[in-house]
Structure 1
Amino acid sequence: MLQQIYPQPDHPYEYELNKDFQFAAAHYVPSEEAGKCRRMHGHTYYANVTVAGDELDRTGFLVNFAIIKQLIHDRFDHTLLNDDRELFSDTEPDRFPTTEVVARTIYELVQAYLDGTSNRPRCVQVFLRETPTSYCIYRPKRKAGY
């Protein structure tokens, strides 16, 4: 992947790491208002996940880069996103596999993993490029203590 500059999230943490990866997946947006996107089609998604925290784990990592890629790439690569009924829906608009929802879902999967680690870093941004000219950024709202 070519080096790219991403918008920087504001956060109070000492460490920040970014993991770039890509995955190929098909989807459709099950809404009449989605126009051409209502038909099944595919993308090579380019993602950047930003994780931040103050403490490193016992191996000296904030989080292992490979784990972030495995959480997303292994689940989504060469799939039809709509088939993943645990994450996406054809009846609930907040769970249609739009770029926005996929970015939020990547955050949720990564953060669920991070919540189980001893150093508990935070996923502070997911940048998801769907086409060369279209991307979405998801940043979770800050909670107390963050």
Structure 2
Amino acid sequence: MLQQTYPQVSHPFAYELNKDFHFAAAHYVPSEKAGKCQRVHGHTYFANITIAGDQLDEAGFLVNFSIIKQLIHDKLDHTLLNEHGELFSDESSALFPTTEVVARVIYELIAAYLQTTENKPLCLQVFLRETPTSYCIYRPVKLLRQLQGGSVL
């Protein structure tokens, strides 16, 4: 993976972890407004996940890099995203597997895992590149507003 600088999220935490990984997946967007993207096609997605916190776990990690990759890569790599009925839907535009929705779903999967850990770090940002010229950033706005106000969850 090429080294890249990603947009930063301002936060008050002592530690920030960023994990880059990629996965190959096909999808289609079930909307007439999607143009050519209505047809099944594939991408090699490149993702960067930003996680922050103040406490390390018993192994000295904020979160183990390999777990972050496993949560997403092992689930989505070499699949048709539309077939993940628990994550995406052809019935609701809020769940069509667009780049924006895929980024949000990645955030939700990671955030759910982080809540099960003892040190409870937070996912602050998901950067998802779909093509060399197109990417999306998902930030959990409620969480970031809480951080700006000085209270966290």
| TM-score bin, normalised by smaller chain | over 0.9
Distance 2:65 2:142 in 1: 23
RMSD: 0.7
State the aligned residue count: 146
> How many angstroms does 1:58 deviate by?
0.7
What aligned pairs does 1:51-90 form with structure 2 within 5 A after superposition?
A: 51-90=51-90
Distance 1:32 1:91 in 2: 13
Greater than 4 Å deviation, 4+ residue runs? none
Deviations 1:31-61 (A, max 9, x none): 0110011110000000000000010011100
Distance 1:142 1:10 in 2: 14
Q: Percent identity?
A: 72
Give TM-score, length-normalised by structure 2. 0.94
Letter in 2 for 1:21: F
Q: What are structure 1's unaligned runs of at least 5 residues?
A: none
Deviations 1:82-120 (A, max 9, x none): 000000000110000000000000000000000000000
Aligned match of 1:22: 22
Aligned match of 1:128: 128
Distance 1:36 1:10 in 2: 37
Distance 2:11 2:102 in 1: 23
Give TM-score, length-normalised by structure 1. 0.98
